[in-house]
A and B are shown apart, each in its own frame.
Chain A
Amino acid sequence: MASFKSIIQDVKDEIGNISRKGFDHVKFGYGLRSRSHRVVQDSSVVVDALKQSCWASMPPELLRDVLMRIEKSESTWPPRKNVVACAGVCRNWREIMKEIVKTPEVSGKLTFPISLKQPGPRDSLLQCYIKRNRSNQTYYLYLSLDQALNEDGKFLLAARKLRRPTCTDYIISLNPDDMSKGSSTYIGKLRSNFLGTKFTAFDAQPPSAGSRVMKSRSTRLVNFKQVSPKVPAGNYPAVHISYELNVLGSRGPRRMQCVLDAIPASSIEPGGVAPTQTEFMSSTLDTFPSFSFFRSKSTRVENLESGRPMSAPKDGMLVLKNKSPRWHEQLQCWCLNFHGRVTVASVKNFQLVASPEQGVAGTEHENVILQFGKVGKDVFTMDYQYPISAFQSFAICLSSFDTRIACE
């Protein structure tokens, strides 16, 4: 039963720190808009104006109902932009929507830009494609919107190649029109060594970045530890990629190895978890947790169990290797089964699987975590899944473009 008093309280809570004056303005600004000609008794005029005119006083459970409907129905792109739009309306809507939206690992969907930094879905590959624009040395990553290999996708990331005297950099950004490192849309970069045999992908944020409590003014209780002083947007090594010739030299497929600094090898075991960034950190924030773990009621806990730092030596880093193609005697070529997602033979094509445990001789893991391959002159598919993110996958694929090892 919503009494007049509780409605006022609801409105106050919803509006937050808007001044009393501002609130009154809201109340009187609308006037009475009665749809009907029926008489409304004078004594209830003020009450009705308050109750009727202010959407901000919608009970939280109803607002949540409405936002949940939107999240559910706008499940694919481009309509999914409506979910992002709702999260941009005000703090309250944002909090609710961020709580409703699940990570790609759980939902299989990309929603907010931060999804690109989070592990992909478990048990299924997220299908993307990369378009190369040779004229401006830029690569564009898109989410595929349908099964067909046509170029109809949602833009995700762009990478621009910058040649330097001793290395090459690929700057990765959320905004194809703004590829500067100082911009808020800067996500990270890929740097190659002089020979183009080793690459490092750098993340603009550390692996455990993000804590809802720091941005949100919510009074929900959260546990967190302030550990580090102010940390600027930096370069945190995320992936180390290396290319080698195989024993057959340039006549055979090259060998690829990727070491994921922040993802433990245990992540791919049953019950394993991989770090999940939850927010983009603004460099103006004063405190920054680098090794603490955050639990807020509204954040899904995806991080490692509490107490263990991210890259504990005991639990080794995840190492991915490219799956060995098999020699097809009849076709006289090396073959990998790309399940229809790659249609043009190229030395750049690869499938990455988890490397068997060090020291344990065993068969290769079967589960393909990242697959990349050519489908057109400047179009390549990229399919990835847990535990790596779209950003990490994109960086790894970019290295495949750049390396000169065993190129035709």
Chain B
Amino acid sequence: MSSPPSASASSSPPPCPKKMITLRSSDGATFEIEETAALQSKTLENMIHENCASTLIPVPNITGEVLARVVEFCSKHAEAGVDDESLGAWDEEFVAVDHTTLFDYIRAANFLEIPTLLDLGCQTVADMIKGKTPDEIKKTFKITTACTPEEEEEVRGENQWAFE
């Protein structure tokens, strides 16, 4: 996003370029992100302030695929002039992904400490859980822990009462 050109473009200095940070994913892919967008991540914010000279930040436990999307998210949320409604719609689109990917976003948001993305991700998961029985939840999240017969009985009784 550059500022509109002034009337006397030939004589005024060129607009300052936005400071870009380069992130490198676990699998070696690199992504550019504006510093203002990167600051939405508390982790990146700390790294930027600690390491002013270098603009290449390794992000070792996030893959390129996920990091690309995270960069997209932060950039979108750093954009000026986006109204709440359209941002909300954009966010909804963003999390309309399979569980695996959603979980990746949440893990990435947790590691990079991006409150907006973490909030969005966790709320999406919460909304996925609502309205499901314990068995349906287990299926959705592929939870296969064993239960004793007593535990099963207790849960069954509890849920029979709750869904009464």
Chain B 4-21, CB within 8 Å of chain A: the 1/0 string?
000000000000000000
Tell which of B126, B146, B159, B164 touches A88, judged by Cβ atoms closer than 8 Å: B159
Please tell me if A92 contacts chain B, counting CB pairs below 8 Å. yes
Beta-carbon contact of A66 and B145 below 8 Å: no
- Please measure, in the bound complex, the distance between the C-alpha atom of A112 and the C-alpha atom of B158, giving whole angstroms: 7
Contacts A40-B63, A52-B103 given; indicate if A85 touches B144 (C-beta within 8 A): no
Beta-carbon contact of B155 and A88 below 8 Å: yes
- Please measure, in the bound complex, the distance between the C-alpha atom of A61 and the C-alpha atom of B106, giving whole angstroms: 12
- Give the chain B neighbours of A87 by CB distance below 8 A: 155, 158
Tell which of B28, B99, B145 touches A91, judged by Cβ atoms closer than 8 Å: B145
Min C-beta distance of B111 to chain A, whole Å: 7
- Please measure, in the bound complex, the distance between the C-alpha atom of A84 and the C-alpha atom of B129, giving whole angstroms: 12
Beta-carbon contact of B129 and A88 below 8 Å: no
- Give the chain B neighbours of A88 by CB distance below 8 A: 134, 155, 158-159
Min C-beta distance of A40 to chain B, whole Å: 6
Q: Which residues of chain B from 101 to 145 have a CB within 8 Å of any chain A CB?
A: 101, 103-104, 106-107, 110-111, 118, 122-123, 125-126, 129-134, 137-138, 141-145
Please tell me if A62 contacts chain B, counting CB pairs below 8 Å. yes
Beta-carbon contact of A86 and B137 below 8 Å: yes
Please tell me if A271 contacts chain B, counting CB pairs below 8 Å. no
- Give the chain A neighbours of B86 by CB distance below 8 A: none
The tally of CB-CB contacts under 8 A between chains A and B is: 162
Please tell me if B157 contacts chain A, counting CB pairs below 8 Å. yes
Q: Which residues of chain A from 104 to 163 have a CB within 8 Å of any chain B CB?
A: 112-113, 154-155
Listed stretches A10-18, A320-328, A344-352, A367-375; interface member:
A10-18
- Please measure, in the bound complex, the distance between the C-alpha atom of A66 and the C-alpha atom of B119, giving whole angstroms: 9
Contacts A38-B64, A85-B159, A215-B151 given; indicate if A52 touches B106 (C-beta within 8 A): no
Beta-carbon contact of A84 and B162 below 8 Å: yes
- Give the chain A neighbours of B138 by CB distance below 8 A: 89-90
- 9 example contacts (A-B, Cβ-Cβ < 8 A) are as follows A1-B60, A18-B146, A38-B65, A52-B100, A59-B110, A70-B126, A113-B158, A282-B150, A282-B153
B interface residues (Cβ-Cβ under 8 A, vs A): 26-28, 60-61, 63-65, 68, 97-101, 103-104, 106-107, 110-111, 118, 122-123, 125-126, 129-134, 137-138, 141-147, 150-151, 153-155, 157-164
Can you add 4 more A-B contacts, CB < 8 Å, to A40-B27, A282-B153?
A59-B107, A79-B130, A113-B161, A215-B151
